[in-house]
A and B are shown apart, each in its own frame.
Chain A
Amino acid sequence: MTNYIIALVLGVFFGFSLNKAGLTKYYKIVNVFRLTDLAVLKFMMTALVVAMSGLYVLRGLGMIHFPTVPSTYIVGNLVGGLIFGVGMALTGY
């Protein structure tokens, strides 16, 4: 139950950050692919850098164990990514 409350609260902050970054808008998503507005890239990479620093520090301190890391299967990941990009550039989601 507590786990679900955590999920709900974290979800609210997740949605809030997406909204404030403008990632809920079509033109923001598609313009990153037109290379005219790199907000999506800046948003994603900042999130990555902050999260990976935090996670690796916490793991170094022994406070967390990593959950199951998404598995790597090169062809699947790449083909999935290639199809995903088409959908993303079309819909702007």
Chain B
Amino acid sequence: MLARKGHIPTLLLFAEALILILTAWYTFFTLDDNLGSYANSFRIATSSVEEDYQYVLHIAPLIVGRAIELRGEGDFEASFNASLLKVAGEVDDISSLRGDFFGKIRNKEYIIKRDGSDYVFVMQKVSVYSGTSGVNAMTRTFGISIRFNEKTIIAEGL
């Protein structure tokens, strides 16, 4: 009788081990095997944000350069700002950027700093974001700084 009672914890141990193993198996077998598509959506979101980030870094100096080229006569800063607004508006009509770079130019959310005979275009907290929504949404925020004079771009950076 006592010997039989002694088996109960051992049998319970065995049963628990079996339950643990079966649970682990169940988890494995019922795991969604569509992991590739999830990875793909992450890859697309990451790639899209990186692409738009690079796009802003590339197009910002091109726009500033064209604005310098097409500016009118008179006060440089005033004519540059007017030209920048026009050029950015034209590019914005075509661009597929998902971000607020063009909006910030439209709303004049940038500063032009004078530095000797040069100027520095500074835009802070520019955002680009992925097209996906919910848990996979990604946003990248960064700053732009472009040094230029009245004729050309001198340097660009973050």
**A and B assemble together:** no
- List residues of chain B with CB under 8 Å of any chain A CB: none
- Partner-B contacts on A (CB < 8 A): none
